[in-house]
Amino acid sequence: MNLQERILLLIKLGNYLKSNDDNWLDTQVLAEQKNGWFTREFLEKAAGNIADNYLKEDKLRQWAGYYKLDDNIQEKCVGIVMAGNIPLVGFHDFLCVFITGHKQMIKMSSKDDVLLKHLVKVMAGWNSKVNGKVIFAEMLKNCDAYIATGSNNSSRYFEQYFGKYPNIIRSNRTSVAVLNGSESTEELEKLADDMHLYFGLGCRNVTKIYVPENYDFIPIIKAFDKYQYFSDHHKYKNNYDYQLSILLLNGKYYMTNGSTLLTQNESFFSPISQVHYQFYTSPEGMQQSLQSNRELQCIVGHSNVPFGQAQNPGLFQYADSVDTMAFLLGM
DSSP letter string over 75-86? --EEEEE---SS
Residue 126: HSE in the Cβ half-sphere, 13 Å Cα cutoff = 16
Confidence of residue 196 (pLDDT cuts 50, 70, 90): very high
Q: Measured between alpha carbons, how far is 262 from 46 in angstroms, rounded to an integer? A: 26
- Quick check: 179 and 208 in contact, CB under 8 A? no
Element (DSSP H or E) covering residue 50: helix 40-53
pLDDT tens per residue across span 112-129: 999 999 999 999 999 999
User: 268-320, pLDDT tens digit by residue?
Assistant: 999 999 999 999 998 888 888 899 899 999 999 998 999 999 999 999 999 99
pLDDT band of residue 212 (cuts 50, 70, 90) is very high
Average pLDDT estimate for 252-271 = 97
Q: Give the chain's domains with CATH numbers.
A: 3-172 (3.40.605.10), 174-300 (3.40.309.10)
What are 125-181's pLDDT values in tens digits? 999 999 999 999 999 999 999 999 999 999 999 999 999 999 999 999 999 999 999
In which band, very low, low, confident or very high, does the pLDDT at 43 lie, cut at 50, 70 and 90? very high
Whole-number Å distance between alpha carbons of 309 and 55: 18
Residue 161's Cβ-side half-sphere holds a number of Cα atoms within 13 Å equal to: 19
The Cα 224–Cα 304 span in angstroms is: 21
* Banded pLDDT at 21 (limits 50, 70, 90): very high
The amino acid that residue 297 corresponds to is: Q
Angle between helices 22-34 and 40-53 (to 10 degrees): 120
Closest residue by Cα to residue 91 from 49, 146, 151: 49
Q: Which residues neighbour 158 within 8 Å (Cβ) at sequence distance 6 or greater?
A: 81, 146, 148, 150, 167, 169
Rounded to whole angstroms, the Cα distance separating 125 from 102 reads 20
Among 148, 109, 3, CA closest to 61: 3
What is the DSSP annotation of 231-267?
Answer: GGSHHHHHHHHHHHHHHHHTT---EESSS-EEEE-S-
More confidently predicted of 289 and 220: 220
